[in-house]
Chains A and B, each alone.
Chain A
Amino acid sequence: MKKLLLAAAASAAILSTAAFGADVPSFAGVWKIDGDHSTIRTIDGRLPPMKPEAKKRYDAAVSARRKGKPTGDTLAKCLPHGLPRLMFAPYPFEVIQDAKQLTFLHEAHHMPRFVYVGDKLPPIESLDGNYMGFSAGSWDRDTLVIDSAGFNDLTTIDTAGLPHSENMVLQERMRLTDNGQGLEDVITVTDPDTYTKPWKARVTFKRMPNDYWLKEFVCTDKNPDAQ
């Protein structure tokens, strides 16, 4: 498989539309999330297994939001969603794909996400802690496996306030469903500082018409999430 991919990369056609390997599915196009994910649960419908300190912070955020008080949500200041929250945002994103790079262009805050196929995830210590972290991709047959790390701890995982630390590591398994009309992302969150064990969340997307163009979303001009 790896050899095949490398061969595909080397002989990749010049236009990026044609440049992903022939044996790899194409996620190219525009996608919109199914359902509401402001409160994330594990794949089997439970509250993620928070450590006591994390649970305290979570409960405080939930309670503040219920009372209409500021929760410290980064979105209120037009700061990025960060990962994995950006994948749960209720706005479309476009995927541009070639053999070495999948680029996710999110309408939300016009935020790009880059997944470098063939890279290995470097040790966390060597990565800048930032909002989007670093994402390394590899193909497992029809599934894109994305390993991400190198985050700051300023963001939450969902709108409700699920916390995470700088040591959070994500593994996403992304694949087409529904004859290419659907995209599924199963996200494993591993963060021993915050959770008692790794947990999984699942999110699905529907393909949007080809003529959908990302709209200009400028939070600092009109912030829909101001508190």
Chain B
Amino acid sequence: MKSTHLLSATLALALAAPGVLLAQERGVSYKPAPPLPKPIYREQRSSMDNKRDLSGVWFIRDYNRRFRTPTDTLPPFTPYGKAEFDKRVKAETDGKPYADASTHCWPHGIPRVMNSPYPIQIFQTSGKITIVHEVAHNIRQIHMDQKMPDKVPTSFLGYSVGHWDGDVLVIETKGTDPRTWIDEEGIIHSDQLYSIERIRKTENGENLENEVTLIDPVFFTRPWVKKINYAWRPDLRISEYICEENNRNAPEGGVTVAK
């Protein structure tokens, strides 16, 4: 880990006041929420009455398989990070894409699982936030109001701790298995990946904004940000999604076989 001081200073900023750190990347606008279909199942509506209540079903609005910064640039890659990215993009162009975790039906990793074109349901219980993702039945658990342990075990979805900063849910994640990717195109990470999500309700509670800061000194020269928005969807329920059945893209020898 080079430039530890700079990194921790930047980190403190990212945790405390993303507006300062990311001023140049703010002001990005997304499309206004589409009119909601009439709720079929649940009359309960999301609202700003309790900004710390994120429970319910949400669906990504600005899904893109490629991660870019809010100013639509590639992440600030290290030379190694750029080479690994280019390798994957080229392999895909050549029709022999590398196999990522989802291709093996493994959990998708953080932040990747937060960027999938399937609904998610958020549950808030004592000391815990649980997110059930339709995609590949990922179940993500966030330890609330706990310190990040000095050492965390490696797992596909990593180890997440969360706390409220005003009405913003801040989730820090470490220990994400480096077999997972950050996006679907070819941005990958090392075992040093540290992600910080700042999640808050906007648009009268009909939008959930997730500002993800990604830190990995092996792959990136500085922290960078990806924004994801989700629409409140009380009309939806989580459906069954079985990747393991008839997996069309099961890898052979590390290479995805598209059928």
Contact = CB atoms under 8 A, between A and B. Distances in A.
Given A14-B53, A110-B137, A214-B141, A79 B245 contact: yes
A105 B243 CA distance: 18
Interface stretch (A44-52, A181-189, A216-224): A216-224
Interface string A1-15: 000000000001011
Nearest to A12: B44
B244 A28 contact: no
Contacts of A216: 107, 155-157
Interface string B120-146: 010111101010100001110101000
Contact of B104 (A80, A109, A130, A221): A221
Contacts of A17: 124-126
Contacts of B15: none
Interface in B139-165: 139, 141, 143, 155-157
A111 B137 contact: yes
Interface of A: prevailing SS: loop
Interface residues on B, range: 20 to 34
Contacts, number: 79
B137 A109 contact: yes
B156 A15 contact: no
Interface in A43-84: 77-80
Contacts of A213: 128, 141, 143
Contacts of A132: 240
Contact of B138 (A80, A110, A128, A210): A110
A92 B123 CA distance: 18
A12 B16 CA distance: 33
A96 interface: yes
Nearest to B240: A130
Contacts of B237: 114, 116
A128 B240 CA distance: 10
B107 A218 contact: yes
A221 B106 contact: yes
A112 B132 CA distance: 8
B242 A79 contact: yes
A210 B128 CA distance: 11
Interface string B215-259: 000000000000000000000011010111100000000000000
Nearest to B244: A78
A196 interface: no
Interface centre among B106, B156, B242 (most CB of A within 10 A): B242
Interface of A: 12, 14-17, 28, 77-80, 94, 96, 100, 103, 105, 109-112, 114, 116, 128, 130-132, 210, 213-214, 216, 218-221
23 contacts: A14-B49, A14-B55, A15-B53, A15-B124, A15-B125, A16-B123, A16-B125, A17-B124, A17-B126, A80-B244, A96-B130, A100-B42, A103-B132, A105-B130, A110-B137, A110-B138, A112-B238, A131-B242, A210-B126, A216-B155, A216-B157, A219-B244, A220-B106
Interface of B: 41-42, 44, 49-50, 53, 55, 104-107, 121, 123-126, 128, 130, 132, 137-139, 141, 143, 155-157, 237-238, 240, 242-245
